[in-house]
Structure 1
Amino acid sequence: MRTMAPTARLHQEELQFRLILAATYPFFLAAAALGRMSPARKPAHAGLPAPHRSVFGEARAMAMQAIPFAFMG
């Protein structure tokens, strides 16, 4: 069995990551929008204001945190 060259494998994994990001981003966007609408929103640290990020930025951050787990193993 022939294995892929390291650069080809990295390119393949990057492509897979981008495809998964594109497929899951709408779900994370919906979750971020619903999170914004909920009245029980608390700051990240007591006494400090929560960082102001757009709904799109929040969705991207959530996706970027969750998707790498698909590549573990």
Structure 2
Amino acid sequence: MRGPNATSRLHREALQFRVILAATYPLFLAAAISQRLLPGRGPDRPALGARRSVFGEARAMAVSAIPFAFMG
């Protein structure tokens, strides 16, 4: 059972996550755009039809990288 301290901690962590996401999203957006501009397609880059939008790619990169800030 969660007490009031655990609930407030979860709210603080959620707020921190959103703040870090907002702060780092422009960097990941720039990275996603630069990946699109690079010529060629590597094995880890899907074909044109299977791609997400640049904004979706940037959000996916940010959401997958940010949890490392909360480890430790």
TM-score normalised according to structure 1 size = 0.83
Give the structure with the larger helix fraction.
Answer: 2
Structure 1 runs of 4+ off > 6 angstroms? none
Aligned to 1:54: 53
TM-score normalised according to structure 2 size = 0.84
Aligned length: 68
Give the unaligned 5+ runs of structure 2: none
Aligned equivalents of 2:63, 2:5: Cα separation in 1: 26
Deviation at 1:66, TM superposition (A): 0.5
Aligned equivalents of 2:16, 2:63: Cα separation in 1: 13
CA RMSD of the aligned region, Å?
Answer: 1.9
1:20 equivalenced with 2:13 (yes/no): no
Aligned equivalents of 1:52, 1:22: Cα separation in 2: 23
Aligned equivalents of 1:39, 1:25: Cα separation in 2: 24
